[in-house]
Structure 1
Amino acid sequence: MLADAARVYAGDPGLRADIARLRARIEWNTGSVHVGHRMILQAAAEVAPHDADRAREMAMFATALASFGASSGVAIDPVGLVPPADESGPPRRRAFAGLLAGLDHVTRGDWAQAASVLRDTFAVAESCDEDDQALLPNLGIAALHLGEDDLALRYHTLLLSRARDTGALVLILYSLTRRGFIEIATGRWTAASAGASEALPLAEGSGQPGLAVLPLSLLALTAALRGEDTFDGHLAAAEQVAAAHPVGVLENLLPDMLHWAKGLRAAAQPATAFHHLEQIAHPMLQHLAAIDRIDAAVRAGQRDTARAWTDELDGFAAATGSAWAAAAVAHGRALLTGGDAAERHFEQALAHHAYSRRTPDRARTELAYGEFLRRARRRVDARAHLRAALEIFEDLGAAPWAERASQELRASGETARRRDPSALTGLTPQELQVARLVAQGMSNRDVAAQLYLSPRTIDFHLRNVFAKLGVSSRAELARLPFD
């Protein structure tokens, strides 16, 4: 490899470190995350006596990799490589120092310390350059770990904008897919699907086939959530890519994503769903799928496991103060108890949901609460919750869950009025992406440049969009709910 050859002839420690960082980045993106971890950690130790800032940044990359399961066995403490950054130092230095320490706490599962350090770091980062394409992705990673939905969306959207401006294709791919995790959690499923659909051809055209596995997995996940027939094809494609090519940092995360998708697909068969969901090992995916996992465990008769998962999440909620986590804990407690206690827990869950953007989780709680009330022969009380759940599920396009809510509503003595699905679901992924960008005020030429298509192709897609949606102007398009 050219980077390896160049490093042999590089005498300057800083230059050698930069070459090593490039080589490690290639490895953790398209090869082995463990080899990449070893490379960056050893290079950080080598440059530390010469350049503390370089060493700190590289050590931070090592802790970021470790937070996703990288373990090279190198006996180097990344946090101890350089002295802590002085509080009066430059914001960028302090931000990298905070990420280094905070992500190390994440790796160790010390959520209270991670939350304290990383939230201070987010505040420091407000004074940093918003074009910093080394800092932004790692701020986004930290926010994902903590379940800070607003910040995770902000950092990845900002990174996407900067990457589009500079034509950095890999960072466009990166930001579209990482943002997809929070878009799924917060019910922005149309945006998640559109982002994955845009990312897929970029990955396939990159010369690194393994990069396609994350957009394919996100497409499988959104298809499972919506009960779409495309699920099997996306799942098979993702598994085929993963079997044939190295997937770098996704090595540990990918199996969890596919188990989550399979568990969602099998929601009507609790034992099968539980079989898949119990295999999710990474804390970030465990937390994203928390209500799915707890619900499947209870329905499969695995109450001790459901209780253990709820207790673990309770610790995370207490350490981070996360509203969505507290809501999921209360939801789990409600499923594991009965009578007045269950009702109190459901009410607590809904109170916490009011402070969270995770509307799919709120719909699940409304549904479970309605089911509980109906089985307690409180049919009138049940209907309000079942109607609320049905409305959210229909807005999301979550067909399997909408059908379950509709059945429960009928069983309560009320006929659910079927709502017209959004015409947006009739757009192809490419049409949807064009429509979203035009709705943001972009010209056809700008959209063409951003999607790497010709203006004529954009014109063609936009005519189809107008016809399918029944709109006649860009202003009408801008008023449609694309999230």
Structure 2
Amino acid sequence: MTAVYGLGRRARSPQGTGTEPVEAPRAARTAADAGALTVRLIDAADRARLAGLPDRARELLARAGHETAADAVRGAAQLVIGQLALQDGPAADAREVLLLAAELLGAVDGRRALAARLAAMEAAWATGDAAACREALDHAREQPEPDQRLAAFRAGMSSVMDGRLDRGRHQLREAATAAGAAGTPDGPEALLRAGGAALVAGDLVAACRANSRALAVARARGPRILVAQALERLAYGELRAGRHARARAHAEDGLRTALGTGQRNLAAHHHAILALVASVEGSRAAVAEHASAAESVAAPHGLAQAATLSQWARARADLAHGRLPEAAARLGPLVCAGPRRGHFAVRMLAVPCFVEAAARTGQEDAARAAVAEFARWAAQGADPQAPAQLARCRALLTGPEACEPLFTTALAHHDQHTGDFERGRTQLLYGTWLRRQRRPGEARGRLRDALVSFERGGAHGWAAQTRAELRATGDAGQDRPHGELALLTPQQLRIARCVAEGATNREVALRLSVSPRTVDHHLRNVFAALGVRSRVELSRWLDRAEKTTAHP
């Protein structure tokens, strides 16, 4: 996403292909002629890159012979090389090339040098190296900048990298001011920069507005590579706002566009977003497919942000299907202290999922440590959903006396923001707690609200989990088993399905919030009712019975 922060001189025709004739006559050329040809080839390479033709851009750079040219020419070539590497290559390598470009350009072309520094910051961001981001920003401040919004962006990002998010948010909001408003003549680069600033500041409304405007401008005027970048920023903003169907639509479009323009690193981010959407919509196969695709690029190219997002998606899918130990195991290294900690801009977003899994699997100490850090982060206004999530996390870690007021507080915070999915998760956990407190009537009310939230938000896997909880409360409104499945009570059927998936009695107890002794008791009755003698036989019986019920 280099061009998001790019300030270099735009090619004369951003829609160009870079294939315009650049060859000089075959007659002998002077040194000046050779130098002019080198410059033209580098400019043509940049036009090809902007047009989404990276192979053509590399071919033109190879013909340019820039290695022995003056610093300004070599710097321009290194800037294009670094931007190509940022689109498809190890991000750490791209950062070093871009820093070299900035050094070569520093004394002769301040604006391109600044563009190289900001692109180096973006490369460092992709790798999750906050110190490298700060280094690039510190050097960028050496270049004077008359654009106040750009200056505010640089200052705000520097504050964020220093751990002063509360201060950085104000500066980043200044950078995003008026971006995306009708009549504002910003180009796509400035709009994407404003959208990125708003995302970091937690202003999701401004972020979606600026990124949507950037998409419209990039489609209308180019350059082509910015279309996929705008779609990625917009999809991520919609995801953060809880509008998962919109996020999926933008990410699917962005994935096609990124692959078509040779931006594999950006495609990995789109795959990660699609994995997160699938973890809400309930398709474990889609989660695995997109997460694997993201990780296949993220691992060799050092894309820590895409890797963290994909692991979060896998863990959230585990949660949706009651696989609590697996979710806690995936997220623990990402959100807790240690060398495998996740990307600095993502890990706090995954803390509520970790706390839910850890608190319900006996890992209270790790969950409390994560909540303490999450509370400090939430206090800085980093995400509109954070106050509700914090109250929910605390409810999971407190005694019965304080639990209910915390759930009530969480729901009050949810009422102030959009996002059916997070509200549904709080209602589901609250209803489950009420059921365990032997208050089934109150539990049914909360669980029905959760079901509506999940169905409205397209969270099918979570809706299925909620329906199962409702059946456990004796809700007569839930569908009863048909055919051979009617031999089992709703609770027995829930346990049988978990066992058929390979869960142990203890894992089933964790999923259903009951004791292992209760699971053992119900499972013995299931075996007796069905005349089966093993878990394998139970799995086969259940598979046959459900197929018969689905296709009588």
TM-score range normalised by the length of the shorter chain: 0.7 to 0.9
How far apart, CA to CA, are the structure 2 residues paired with 1:227 and 1:336? Answer: 27
Letter of the 2:317 partner, please give it. R
Mapping 1:61-80, distance limit 5 Å: 61-69=119-127, 71=129, 78-80=137-139
Aligned to 1:254: 306
- Which of 61, 83, 95 is residue 37 of structure 1 equivalent to? 95
Give the Å deviation of 1:110: 2.3
Is residue 163 of structure 2 the alignment partner of residue 104 of structure 1? Answer: no
> Is 1:397–2:397 an aligned residue pair?
no
Higher deviation after alignment, 398-407 or 220-229: 220-229
Give the counterpart of 2:256 among 186, 201, 214. Answer: 201
User: Are 1:296 and 2:366 an aligned pair?
Assistant: no
CA pair 70-58 structure 1, distance change in 2 beyond 3 A: farther
Q: 1:48 to 1:12 in 2, by over 3 A?
A: closer
**Map of 1:81-160 to 2, 5 A cutoff?**
81-82=140-141, 89=146, 93-123=147-177, 130-160=185-215
- Distance apart, 1:109 and its partner CA: 2.7
Partner Cα distance (1:63, 1:230) in 2: 32
- What TM-score, normalized to structure 1? 0.75
Work out whether residues 421 and 459 of structure 2, in 8 Å CA contact, stay in contact via their aligned partners in 1. Answer: no
Note closer, same or farther for the CA distance 1:343–1:165 as it changes in structure 2 (3 Å cut).
same
| Stretch moving more, 337-346 or 222-231 | 222-231
Tell me, yes or no, if the aligned pair for 2:180 and 2:211 is still in contact at 8 Å: no
In structure 1, list runs of 5 or more residues that go unmatched: 419-483
Which aligned pairs between 1:270-349 and structure 2 lie closer than 5 A? Answer: 270-280=324-334, 281-320=342-381, 322-349=383-410
Question: Contact 1:106–1:114 (CA<8 Å) still a contact in 2?
Answer: yes
For residues 94 and 128 of structure 2, the distance between their equivalents in structure 1, rounded to whole angstroms, comes to: 9
Is the 2:265–2:297 contact (alpha carbons within 8 Å) kept by the matching residues of 1? yes
Q: Distance in 1 between matches of 2:164 and 2:367?
A: 22
The answer for the alignment partner of 1:366 in structure 2 is 427
Q: What does residue 234 of structure 1 align with? A: 290
Q: Distance in 2 between matches of 1:136 and 1:321?
A: 21
- Structure 1 counterpart of 2:208, which letter? L
**Pairwise CA distance, 1:302:** 1.6
Q: Is the Cα–Cα contact under 8 Å of residues 130 and 136 in structure 1 kept in the other structure?
A: no
Which has the larger displacement, 229-238 or 2-11? Answer: 2-11
C-alpha deviations, 1:97-122, integer Å up to 9, x for none? 22212222222332122212212222
| Kept after mapping to 1: 8 A contact 2:311/2:330 | yes
The residue identity in structure 2 corresponding to 1:205 is G
Cα deviation, residue 10, structure 1:
6.2
**1:413: Cα distance to partner?**
3.7
Cα distance in 2 between the residues matched to 1:282 and 1:225: 21
Q: CA–CA distance in 2 between the matches of 1:409 and 1:346?
A: 19
Distance 1:126 1:394, change over 3 A: closer
Matches of 2:207 and 2:308 in 1, distance apart? 20
* Distance apart, 1:263 and its partner CA: 0.8
In terms of mean alpha carbon deviation, does 310-319 or 198-207 score higher? 198-207
SS of equivalent to 2:188: coil
Deviation at 1:335, TM superposition (A): 0.7
Decide whether the 8 Å contact of 1:67 with 1:107 is kept in 2: no
From the superposition, tell whether residues 237 and 132 of structure 1 become closer, same or farther in structure 2 (CA, over 3 Å). Answer: same
> What is the Cα deviation at residue 216 of structure 1?
2.8
Cα deviation 1:205-225 (Å, max 9, x = unaligned): 334555433333333332232
Match of 2:81 in 1: 23
What's the counterpart of residue 225 of structure 1? 280
SS in 1 for 2:346: helix
Contact 2:188–2:215, Cα closer than 8 Å, also in 1: no
SS at match of 2:362: coil
Cα RMSD over matched residues? 3.1
Any conservation in 1 of the 2:279–2:316 contact (CA below 8 Å)?
yes
- Preserved CA contact (<8 Å) 1:199 1:215: yes
